[in-house]
Structure 1
Amino acid sequence: MENSDSNTVKRLALWGIPLSLGVMGLKLVAWWVTGSVALLSDGMESSVNVVAAIVAFAAISYAAKPADKTHPFGHHKAEYLSAVLEGVLIVVAALLIVKEALPAVFAPTPMEAPALGLAINFLAGAINAIWAFVLIRAGRRYRSPALAADGQHILSDVVTSIGVLVGLVLAIVTGYAVLDPLLAVLVALNILYQGWKVIAHSVDGLMDHAVEPGEADAIQAAIAAHGAGSLGVHDLKTRRAGSATFVDFHLVVPASMPVGQAHDICDRLEDAIRTVQPGAQIAIHVEPETEKAHGIRVKIEEA
């Protein structure tokens, strides 16, 4: 990731802290006005957003540090650790909501000032919806797992808020106060599901997941089109670590080829790969045609 992109990601992560605090404050005011357990559950989920925003900013700042002697491949995976922690926090929030909601199922109480509380909660949900869209879009553009995870969590919070608002309107219209705590339980179940998705995606990233199939095809096409002079490529491997992409392969050349000429081919291939994968970190092992090929192979196009 380029410095300008890295600064943009950090700036977005930093803005997430005051925004999440503001949204949490609005939702807790809505709960205080109404006494609704469902609105309390919505506010508790937003409290996780505050902690997650702080953790995401810290992780993104650390991940942006350049490689050093103890971390020669960089610090990119710190973002995955942030996303895992956010998933764990989501699960904890869900359990706390269940703890608050279950007693109210057996002893429901009517809401106070429901119109004002729902209006405040609607405002908080609208702010969250806009911010979730910004974070998810930025997370994909800059390949930031922490931003994307934060955005997905906030989006789940928006869905939760919509469900709570619709359910509470029904509770008011029908007079069934028990719908309030039942909604809170449903909110908790949805949060558990979202937390599991965040954790699963992040753990997959920590396991050195390969690039997406479309990206892999683009890399292979770039190699095939710009490897003239070589005899082929094999054992092609890719992996993604946060915003960084790593590409590794063996380049087969005639045994009699001078080192300088082989080096020129490598330079050309690196430039071609970085055209389709900007900023990719590439390792090419040059070997003579007598070596046995293995792994993914790429046939070089004839000039």
Structure 2
Amino acid sequence: MLRRELRVILVSLIVSFILTVAKFVAFYMTHSVAILSDAMESIINVVAGGFACYSIYLSGKPKDANHPYGHGKVEFFSIGFEGAMIFFAGMLILFKAVQYFISPKELHSMESGLWLLGATTVANLLLGLYLIRAGRQLGSITISGNGQHIMTDVYSSTGLIVALSVIHYTGWNWLDPAVSVLMSILILTKGYQLMRRSISGLMDETDMKVVDKVIAILSSHRVPNWIDVHNMRVQQYGNNYHIDCHITMPYYLSLNEAHDEVKKVEVLVNKEFEEGEVEFFIHMDPCIPSCCHYCLKDACPVRQHAFTGEITWTRDNVLPNRKHG
């Protein structure tokens, strides 16, 4: 899988470099600050692609004594770095647009520049779709983030082509820096979103979609010995997940029997969970008399209270550190 991830990001790096050169050629042909803005953003694609190559290589290294959970966290550094670079590019584009408002420049060879920009946009569209699809298949947030950035580039380039076409046919050159300002706002927003995602990952912010997915898997394959699940915590390391939780089981189970139940949980979730590999750390809690009213074991030899109804597992009762009921 690591080789495929590196191959995918290397394709992104090479294509992004070629398209960046083409956009700068279009800028020198037209002297359009809006095209310059697009070209400057594409530089970030190249820089981010290079950093992504290293982060994917590092995240694929096996666990060691210093990194018992692996090296997958580096992918959050990768998208944070990319977000910071995008944000910086947005600031530069905004500064350049203000300069052009103050000192306008005459535009040249607009038709040729538009054709060249259109070709780079189509190529970027194909690249972005390829990266997003590959990121989903490989469970790589670095590749997915890179693909989403490329798609943002596609949207901004499409809007840019429309605006430059209007300028070309109307002669309203003031639209050139105005469009550049709009592009800078879009780019700044995207940079902020990537940095926000990076910080949330590095701070181990809970991904509720992952929690809901795991709860749904456990609920659909629930067995009587799993009386309740609580104190669940999820951490992401690249495309790997570490989950620790408490599972309440009948107190009279032998150590071997309890271990077998824990193994069932780990095997089940890894089989059904498509987002990546899951490592479990499960603390086994013995049942107490207050568990009897929702315990599903029909022939429990130590039941002290009648069964009153099954408790549905949700975020509200799986995440807190307390037995249900």
Calculate the TM-score normalised by the size of structure 1: 0.90
1:104-115, aligned counterparts within 5 Å? 104-115=100-111
Counterpart of 1:83 (choices 79, 84, 87) is 79
* Partner deviation per Cα, 1:210-261 (whole Å, 9 max, x = no partner): 3443x43442344342544343332222232321122211122333321111
Contact kept? 2:49, 2:146, Cα under 8 Å: yes
Amino acid at match of 1:281: E
Query: Against the structure 1 CA distance between its residues 156 and 221, is the aligned structure 2 distance closer, same or farther, given a 3 Å change threshold?
Result: closer
* Match in the other structure for 2:156: 160
1:59 paired to 2:55: yes
Residue matched to 1:41: 37
Residue aligned with 1:256, SS: coil
Structure 1 counterpart of 2:136, one-letter code: R
Cα distance, 1:290 vs structure 2: 4.4
- Between the aligned residues of both structures, percent identity stands at 31
> CA 1:202/1:100 → structure 2, altered by over 3 Å: closer, same or farther?
same
Distance 1:76 1:48 in 2: 22
Q: Distance in 2 between matches of 1:221 and 1:291?
A: 27
Q: CA RMSD in A?
A: 2.2
User: What pairs with 1:157-196 in structure 2 (closer than 5 Å)?
Assistant: 157-196=153-192
In structure 1, C-alpha distance between the alignment counterparts of 2:149 and 2:289, rounded to whole Å: 49
After TM superposition, the score normalised by the length of structure 2 is 0.84
- Tell me the SS of whatever aligns to 1:111: coil
| Matches of 1:221 and 1:125, distance apart in 2 | 41
Which residue is 2:69 aligned to?
73
* CA shift in 2, pair 1:292/1:73, >3 Å: farther
Q: Which residue of 2 aligns with 1:267?
A: 263
1:203 is aligned to 199
The secondary structure found in structure 1 opposite 2:318 is coil
When structure 1 is superposed on structure 2, of 41-50 and 182-191 the one drifting more is 182-191
List gaps (5 residues or longer) in structure 2. 292-315, 321-325
- For residue 249 of structure 1, what is the amino acid of its counterpart? C
| Higher gyration radius (CA) | 2
Amino acid at match of 1:266: V
**Counterpart for residue 229 of structure 1:** 225
Of the three residues 214, 217, 227, the one matched with 1:219 is: 214
Is the contact made by 2:233 and 2:243 (CA closer than 8 Å) also made in structure 1? yes
Query: Per the alignment, in what secondary structure is the counterpart of residue 129 of structure 1?
Result: helix
1:24 aligns with 2:20: yes
Q: 3-state SS of the aligned residue for 1:280?
A: strand
1:110: Cα distance to partner? Answer: 2.6
Question: Contact 2:69 / 2:237 at 8 angstroms: preserved in 1?
Answer: no
1:252 corresponds to 2:248: yes
- State the Cα distance separating 1:36 from its structure 2 match: 1.1
The alpha-carbon distance between structure 1 residues 103 and 204, as it changes in their structure 2 partners (threshold 3 A), is: same
1:19-48 Cα deviation digits (max 9, x unpaired): 110010110111111111111111111011
Residues 12 and 49, structure 2, Cα contact 8 Å, conserved in 1: yes
Q: Quick one: which of 124, 139, 144 aligns to 2:140? A: 144
**What does the per-residue CA deviation read over 1:87-125, in whole Å, with 9 as the maximum and x for residues that have no partner?**
110111112112222121133233111111111111111
Q: Match of 1:296, as an amino acid? A: V
Inter-partner Cα distance in structure 2 for 1:60 and 1:244: 13
The C-alpha deviation readout for 1:147-178, integer Å capped at 9, x for no partner, is 12111111111111111111111111111111
Q: Does the residue aligned with 1:73 lie in a helix, a strand or coil?
A: coil
Moved more, 229-238 or 125-134: 229-238
Structure 1 partner of 2:285:
287
- 1:100 is paired with a residue whose SS is helix
Aligned-partner Cα distance in 2 for 1:292–1:139: 46
CA apart distance, 1:131: 0.6
Cα distance in 1 for residues equivalent to 2:122 and 2:319: 50
* Unmatched runs of 5 consecutive residues or more in structure 1: 299-303
C-alpha distance 223-109 of structure 1, shift in aligned 2 (>3 A): closer
